[in-house]
A = this chain, B = another copy of it.
């Protein structure tokens, strides 16, 4: 389920949507609050946060470092299965129609990479950073549609090359560079807006 930043969530509404009471809904919301994705305000509601620029680049920089560590920290062996899935994802990028599909492929790619991380602690933060940063990417895409599709295709191509020789370190660095690319885009696009 995707909610745009600034959306005001109401526990009672969500509870009815999911057919539960407010209690378990609140649990999930609290978890999201710990992760910095939403903010609950007494008497108001639960606000989907719109990460401020400084905090965002902090997270992005850590995400870069995390990606660099993927191949270093006891990675899982990259096998034929991973390669096949990469090829399948690459093929799917040839017939992309809308943002939801692009996001879905990006998400599956993320899960694939995550499954290569051997260090449990690294896996958790890598996953967390993904969810914290991907929302901004969401907002950025509409203007850069074709450019982003091409970038994703290039990225997967490079990942396939690395996967063919079981080089998880290279996979980590490919990810790192494409994360750096998005960070650059964001810094370019957001600064004129805010300042």
Stretch at the interface among A26-34, A85-93, A96-104, A147-155: A26-34
Q: Is the CB of A122 within 8 A of B58?
A: yes
CB within 8 Å of B: which A111-168 residues: 119-122, 125, 129
A125 CB to nearest B CB, Å: 6
Chain B residue nearest in CB terms to A63:
B121
Cβ contact of A30, chosen from B27, B65, B121, cutoff 8 A: B27
Which residues from chain B contact A119 at a C-beta distance below 8 Å?
58, 61-62
Within the complex, the shortest CB–CB distance from A120 to chain B, in Å, comes to 5
Q: Which B residues touch A61, using CB under 8 A?
A: 73, 119, 121
Determine if A59 is an interface residue (Cβ-Cβ < 8 Å): yes
Distance in angstroms between the alpha carbons of A120 and B62 in the assembled complex: 10
Tell me if A69 is interfacial: C-beta within 8 Å of chain B: yes
Cα A73 to Cα B34 in complex, Å, equals: 23
> A161 CB to closest chain B CB, in angstroms?
27
User: Which of B34, B65, B125 makes the CB contact (< 8 A) with A34?
Assistant: B34
Cα(A145)–Cα(B30), bound, Å: 40
Give Cα A27 to B31, complex, Å.
9
Please give the residue numbers on chain A whose beta carbons come within 8 Å of chain B beta carbons, in ascending order. 27, 30-31, 34, 55, 58-59, 61-62, 65, 69, 73, 119-122, 125, 129
